[in-house]
Amino acid sequence: MHDLRFTIPRQDLNREAFASSVPDFNLKSDLMKTDMGYKCRITNIVSLTEQEKLFRLRIVDPEERRIFRFKPGQFIMLELPGFGDVPISISSASSNHEFIELCIRKAGHVTSALFRIDTGMHVAIRGPFGSSFPMDEMAGHHALLIAGGLGIAPLRAPLFWINEHRDRFRDVHLLYGAKEPSQLLFSYQFDEWKTISHIRLHTIVEHADAEWKGSTGMITELFRDITIDAKNTYAIVCGPPVMFKFVCSCLDRLGIPMNRMFVSLERRMHCGMGKCCRCMVGSTFTCIDGPVFDYWSVMNLKEAI
């Protein structure tokens, strides 16, 4: 009798891309964890608002901690065993190899469960996945970062990057809008960004309360307050889907070239590897071609924004 069985080598195909005897198809994979997660311990949880919490995760295995590297703008799939996994953008510094921070809004099945867990519990992450912001290309230019609501979470990684390499950038503007003053996230870092990193921070809220002294209105109104050198500016936009259209047309009017405007898109994801197709926009996968797209690509994608 002939044996038909083809056996895949026992070792986990994704675990060790450097191992000598991996099948050749796996050499195409440039990251280690696609099916097995990195096990992480939650070391700290900060309640930012009623809806958002900042989770600090530390990869348990020191070797895995050494391997895990990401670029600003990338995301990970956060796995809560038994509940599911969700795509979450990384909002800590890419130079920080000790822990990663995830700013999570309580929105669905998995995140609601996450809000019930305590420090010391274990979760898993897969990734990092996706494209990143072109931080190296941006060097030597002005930077204009625009965030709406939870959109500040993926922008925190490039912000950290800019803070660490502040001398490489010229003027840095951060426009940040939220529904209410209480929903402005990371307000405890505003002073640090303004004074230490010399970031020109402009905040705006839709509905002001009694104590609010800043501007009120839509985020596009902040464009009246700033003067930018459009020819030498890179813009990064991140926010809810409705925001992109208005902000991007504003930027277009300012004269920022399309290939220097970057947006970070949000879609439903189940795999992060371009296989489940849930995040497909036209023929493009948000998980492998995105989530960071330049505006030219987005313009060419039907139903992207």
Partner 1 sequence: MIYKVISKSEFRKFIDALVRQNTSFGPRQVDRNTADEPIYQFMPVSSVDDIEFDYTLTTSSAKHFFLPFRDQLSRFSFQNSDFEQHVAYEADPVVLIGLRPCDISALNILDDVLLNGRYPSPYYLAKRKNTFVIGMDHLPLPDCFCKSLAHHTVSTGFNLFCSDIGEKYYLSINSSKAFTYLEEFQTEEPSCEDNCLMTRRRKLISESFRTEVDVTSLPSILDIEFESPVWDKWGAKCLNCGTCAMVCPTCYCYSVDEHFDIDLKGASRNRQLYSCNLVDFAVVAGGHNFRPKNGDRLKYRYYHQHRGFAENANQQICVGCNRCGRACLTGINPKAVINDLRMEKESCMTCVSPSPDRT
Is residue 49 at the binding interface for partner 1, with CB under 8 A as the rule? no
Is residue 124 at the binding interface for partner 1, with CB under 8 A as the rule? yes
Residue from 16, 17, 29, 215 that binds partner 1 (CB under 8 A)?
29
Q: Which stretch binds partner 1 (CB under 8 A): 204-212, 245-253, 256-264, 278-286?
A: 278-286
Question: What is the rounded CA–CA span in Å between residue 65 and residue 305?
Answer: 36
Cβ 52 vs Cβ 89: under 8 Å = no
Closest to 139 (Cα-Cα) out of 166, 168, 162: 168
Is residue 65 at the binding interface for partner 1, with CB under 8 A as the rule? no
Question: What is the rounded CA–CA span in Å between residue 217 and residue 172?
Answer: 22
Give 177-217 as a 3 state SS string. Answer: EECCHHHCCCHHHHHHHHHHCCCEEEEEECCCCCCCCCEEC
Residue from 140, 207, 275, 296 that binds partner 1 (CB under 8 A)?
275
Q: Which stretch binds partner 1 (CB under 8 A): 106-114, 202-210, 215-223, 248-256?
A: 106-114
Closest to 192 (Cα-Cα) out of 166, 224, 229, 221: 166
Is residue 201 at the binding interface for partner 1, with CB under 8 A as the rule? no
Question: What is the rounded CA–CA span in Å between residue 40 and residue 294?
Answer: 32
Is residue 220 at the binding interface for partner 1, with CB under 8 A as the rule? no
Residue from 76, 90, 273, 292 that binds partner 1 (CB under 8 A)?
273
Is residue 25 at the binding interface for partner 1, with CB under 8 A as the rule? yes
Positions touching partner 1 (CB under 8 A) are: 1-6, 8, 12-14, 25-26, 28-30, 34-37, 39, 81-86, 105, 107-108, 111, 120-122, 124, 241, 266-268, 270-271, 273-278, 280, 282-283, 288, 302-303
